[in-house]
Amino acid sequence: MIRNLILTSFILVSCQNFKDFERIDSYETLVKSFRDSNEYIVYKKSSDYYLTVLTTYKIKEFNKNYICTNSGEALAFEEFIKNNTQLTLEVVSHDLEI
């Protein structure tokens, strides 16, 4: 009996280490989930100043790009992806011709 309780406790503790990821099955769901997220809300409420630099991320699973308008939004987006999804991001670089 005690052996079963110990095993059950071990299994429950082990399961708590896995993140509960949101189900994001489309680009539109991703954008809505990000804009509703705690990461985005904290960024929007912040009184910090951010560099106005466009950062483009390619979401590999959807083969779509998401553009962040400043460094604060980019940081919030990266944190949201890391904390809430299993999606893969790639920063898209832009070549400037002068």
As a whole number of angstroms, the distance between CA 62 and CA 42 comes to 26
Least confident range from 14-23, 64-73, 85-94: namely: 14-23
Return the closest-CA partner of residue 22 out of 88, 87, 89, 90: 87
pLDDT in tens, 36-74: 999 999 999 999 999 999 999 999 999 999 999 999 999
How far is the first Cα of the chain from the last one, in angstroms, to the nearest whole number?
A: 75
Between residues 62 and 7, which one has the greater pLDDT? 62
As a whole number of angstroms, the distance between CA 39 and CA 73 comes to 9
As a whole number of angstroms, the distance between CA 8 and CA 78 comes to 36
| Model pTM score | 0.75
pLDDT value of residue 87:
96
64: β partners: 59
